[in-house]
Structure 1
Amino acid sequence: MRGITTATVRKAVTAVVATAALATLTTGVPASAATTKSDARSVEPASVHGGGRIFYGFVPDDDIRFTVDATSAPYSRPYPGVPALKNGLPTDAKGTVTISHWSAKDNKTMKSVATVDCLVTGDRTATVTATITTVNDPELADTIGERRGFSVYDGKGGRDRFGFSWGVGNLDTDEKGNPVPGRVGTCMAPAPFAPVVKGGFTVRHAELATEPPKAARGR
């Protein structure tokens, strides 16, 4: 399967196993029991909702806005043919992210809509990834199918912040050492570096589910 290597599977499995082991060490009870207690406390799924305009210092006169509607849906995106990921990941999610960028230089607004595939929260912060599905301009056509990363800090009082993967030099290098655009993996995003100057976002935190629900285990 394209994009899923043996090393990727091994890392995913190791991460899940490590999470379960940590639960056992810190609580002194089996991981399954710890999960049950955690699930009882986290009735609502993790989510990020809201929209706002940010200030991006490299183009201070531009109007850049993001709208996020993302909700956790653990183990809902299985990887067919990959036994270790047959149920998906605890960070699976659903929803949309809308990007709007009005350029003062060109007096033009570029818009994209992306489908959410991953969400992870930590108290008042969250990272989200989404794959672009719709654009409003032919210049953006080559971005369709690309995954983008977003981060949110819920300031709870008008101090929200937002980050986006292509805004801070997400670079990689090719075999010759030349810089190339970096690929964004699931739930990968920079820190929320840009202040939100209008609007805001709400982060609802929930602990990651360490095992899939019973309905998913029989897949």
Structure 2
Amino acid sequence: MVRVIKPCAATLAAVGLAFAMLATVTPASAAGPAAPTKGHPVRLASVTGSGRIFYAFRPDDEIRFTVDAQVAPYTRGFPGTIVPDGLPTDARGTVRFTHHKAGTNEVGTADAAVDCLVTGDHVATLTAVITTSDVMPVGQRIGLSISQGHGHDKGRLGFSWGVVNLDVDANGKPVQPVVGTCMAPAPFAPVVDGGYTVHPGDLEVR
């Protein structure tokens, strides 16, 4: 014979209270940070700093990037298209690039205007269009990725013309495709001097 034990009222009340508490607490803890909603103010992303990188294919050269970029949502619109007001990743700011060649003492420079920025945690991807340069065509878009350093790690930086973004044309000639907005490789080059600060931000929904 199987003996059935019926829980008392106090036990049932305690179990009910426990489930009620779980129902209250679990969704909030499992959901994580609240997703941005339409019309809700968000923290705008930015990345600033200056650093010298170690580029493995030019180990003795001094290559430095200075970046000052901030998101400016919906400021680069395309009237008459599906994005007349622009995108949440629209951005403004400047990029300066200098490359000092150790063997010849030549120095190449470029200045560019930032047009796109997107962040995730302490990593940023941005693009900028060359405004003045003695080594790059004016009007060319470049892509950069930056990871912020922590402690003794000074972070990393990737640039679109370093080891990626190569194709061949119909004649088999190597060409460098156009860089799209906010498109850049992973940050592959270690920062050896200086560094960058990435302030991550959510995308503004309109």
**Which bin holds the TM-score, normalised by the shorter protein?**
0.7 to 0.9
Is 1:63 the counterpart of 2:62 in the alignment? Answer: yes
Equivalent residue, structure 2, for 1:73: 72
Equivalent residue, structure 1, for 2:22: none
Q: What is the CA distance between 1:105 and its match in structure 2?
A: 1.8
Q: Given that residues 158 and 200 in structure 1 are in contact (C-alpha distance below 8 angstroms), is that contact kept between their aligned partners in structure 2? A: no
Is 1:128 the counterpart of 2:126 in the alignment? Answer: yes
Q: Given that residues 51 and 68 in structure 1 are in contact (C-alpha distance below 8 angstroms), is that contact kept between their aligned partners in structure 2? A: yes
Moved more, 195-204 or 174-183: 174-183
Equivalent residue, structure 2, for 1:148: 142
CA–CA distance in structure 2, aligned partners of residues 131 and 52 of structure 1:
20
Equivalent pairs, count: 172
| Gaps in structure 2 of 5+ consecutive residues | 1-30
- RMSD across aligned C-alpha pairs, in angstroms? 1.8
Equivalent residue, structure 2, for 1:157: 151
CA–CA distance in structure 2, aligned partners of residues 182 and 146 of structure 1:
10
Equivalent of 2:105 in 104, 107, 112? 107
Q: What is the CA distance between 1:177 and its match in structure 2?
A: 5.1
Q: What is the CA distance between 1:79 and its match in structure 2?
A: 1.1
Equivalent residue, structure 2, for 1:182: 177
Equivalent residue, structure 2, for 1:196: 191
Q: Aligned with 2:149: secondary structure?
A: coil
Moved more, 94-103 or 165-174: 165-174
Q: Aligned with 1:90: secondary structure?
A: coil
Larger radius of gyration between Structure 1 and Structure 2: 2
CA–CA distance in structure 2, aligned partners of residues 109 and 175 of structure 1:
34
Distance 1:146 1:197, change over 3 A: same
TM-score (norm 2): 0.78
Q: Aligned with 1:167: secondary structure?
A: coil
Q: What is the CA distance between 1:167 and its match in structure 2?
A: 0.4
TM-score (norm 1): 0.74
Higher helix residue share:
1
The amino acid of 2:95's aligned partner reads V
Deviation string for 1:169-197 (max 9, x for gaps)?
Answer: 31123235543112100000000000000
Percent identical among aligned pairs is 55
Q: What is the CA distance between 1:85 and its match in structure 2?
A: 1.3
| Gaps in structure 1 of 5+ consecutive residues | 1-26, 212-219
Q: Given that residues 126 and 182 in structure 2 are in contact (C-alpha distance below 8 angstroms), is that contact kept between their aligned partners in structure 1? A: yes
CA–CA distance in structure 1, aligned partners of residues 68 and 141 of structure 2:
16
Deviation string for 1:141-176 (max 9, x for gaps)?
Answer: x51100000000012324210010000131123235
Q: Aligned with 2:56: secondary structure?
A: coil
